[in-house]
Structure 1
Amino acid sequence: MGATGRLGRAGLALAAVVLLGLVAACGGKVGENGRFGVVYMDAQGFYAGVRAGMQQEAEALGHVPQLLQINAQGDASKESTFVDQVSAAKVDALILSPASATASVPAIKLAHSSGIPVICYNTCIAEDSARKYVSAYVLGDPVRFGALLGDQAAEHFRSVGKAEPKIAVVNCEFVEVCIQRRQGFEQALKAKLPGASIVANQEGATIDDAVDVAERILTAHPDVDAFYGEAGGATMGAVRAVQARGKTGQTVVFGSDMSTEAAQALAAGTVLKAVVDISGIAVGKLAARAADQVRRGDLKTYTVVPAPIELYVGPQQGGAWLTAHPDGVP
């Protein structure tokens, strides 16, 4: 989210179903360079980045395919209906961030049995099934993702002389990558601060849900020293809750997934202290490249394609991100 892996919000709403014909600059016919079925898990900014990255990479490769796209809104049944449609249409590849490690398996199996290569990004189905039905998986190591932030949290609390910080987690653990993010966070945190403790761990993937969850946690644990947001919505919900409850200067946030709002909060330097991120644009480029490699026969067995992970710490790096991303697309 990554929910979802990656679940950050950046203000772009992808329509429930979008049919977008992309035509190469030479003026060819729609679809003459192939067609890709593309599934976005939800309407968050990360997926806008993925779409932009796919378009950029396709243009660089010199043959821009037609994209048949859907925002599945985290709904495995909606995702399944779309996969049925693109499988019947015999697209050249299916590129998706599956809504579920288990419920998404039948749809992906159908695409595979229809002769359509499947490329996962951000999330995927369970590994045993992925090895059977998926050609490539674009993934930023979720354990390392969490560990970078856990290490930074430990450094922060060392710097302020707090050896036993109490930390609350706002999670997106309906997807496996978020569980792995937390595991990495806890391992790195406790390696440096054995006295640190996780006092709460509750789901709040969207900003609105995360605000409510974080406020309830602050009521139950008024002495909590920090929140760890496993995804973008969780991060910014925690930041807003800290501000709303007048805890600025007492409770800090370490979060996931850059967005304009996250970068602004990081630049302010008061609540959000660090953000770890996987660029949607970078993931989109890698997914499009993998789809092209599969189509050309260069990828013949299940392959994990590493996505770069970046850590942003403090006001200066928050401001630099805003300068580098004036359109807000991560």
Structure 2
Amino acid sequence: MLLERYLKVSENKLPAKFLILKSIDVCNFDNKDIDELWEMHENAMSEFRETTYIKNIKITHPNLLDLKIEIAKRIFENCHFCEHRCYVNRNKELGFCRIGESYYSSEFLHYGEEKVLIPSHTIFFCGCNFKCVFCQNWEISQVYFENLKVENYCKKVRPKLMAKIVEEKRTISKNVNFVGGEPTPHLLKILEILGYVNVNIPVVWNSNMYMSEETMYLLDGVVDLWLSDFKFGNDNCAERLSKIKNYCKVVKRNHLMINDEDIIIRHLVMPNHLECCTERIFKWIGKHLDAKVNVMFQYRPEYKATLYEDIDRTLTYKEMEKAHLLAKKYDLDTDV
């Protein structure tokens, strides 16, 4: 059954994956180089895969989550969390996303998500690795690209404090939902937050899915439910509207890497993009994935969309009807 494990974690019938990571002992990794760390990670993940349905865990140190945090620190200093692969030391300089320290704009119990998620403790990180001209959340996601002072819009992420907030919200929330903007540039801080969280809560990764393979390996064993945003069915639309190269290759690869996991795919239907994007995406999902699909009709021309004639309007009824028919044509599970 789709989303079966996520639902069991949400109901406290199984432990969240990040808690299992904390139960897997690893050798001391001080003074190890990055290749040695990855080898240790691969070996420890083999043990993790044998224990994903255990019910009783005992936290140890150093553990597999500690190891993932150490690898993330190394990547932060030579950043390739996403496929821009800037390879900058973000302690000293900025890459494409222009994010150094992590900030968030808000965190609250969200009741507007998919029904299996609500109430969802949603944490909105500032900044993004996309430059979507139609972004409906642009004040948060594009704050760095617009050269605005992030301190005026957002709060600095303090992992120990955020972990306490996550634990307090868990009395009501079904999950903790890392979103933005885009969570990928903030992976190090997110792992550090989870390092301090000691309550059982499923982790939702709400992402544009433009992560590097290395980030996908780090997220393996952390994420209980993937909430992916599949935007474009071709690279031309992705580069023109989001300033992203090799979109389809990267996003398809990452979806295939999580094919045996719980996943909900969101697709925002845009005017004049039914053939070039919506149908191509639905056809590919129907052929390759077993996933829930949320067909979204909330598009409106925000941010810089009015400068692009093809997306400078809302959807017509005929376009919405066609999207529904395409989902049915490719036998997608849209019950979310």
Establish whether TM, by shorter chain, passes 0.5: no
After TM superposition, the score normalised by the length of structure 2 is 0.30
Of Structure 1 and Structure 2, the greater helix share is in 1
Of Structure 1 and Structure 2, the greater strand share is in 1
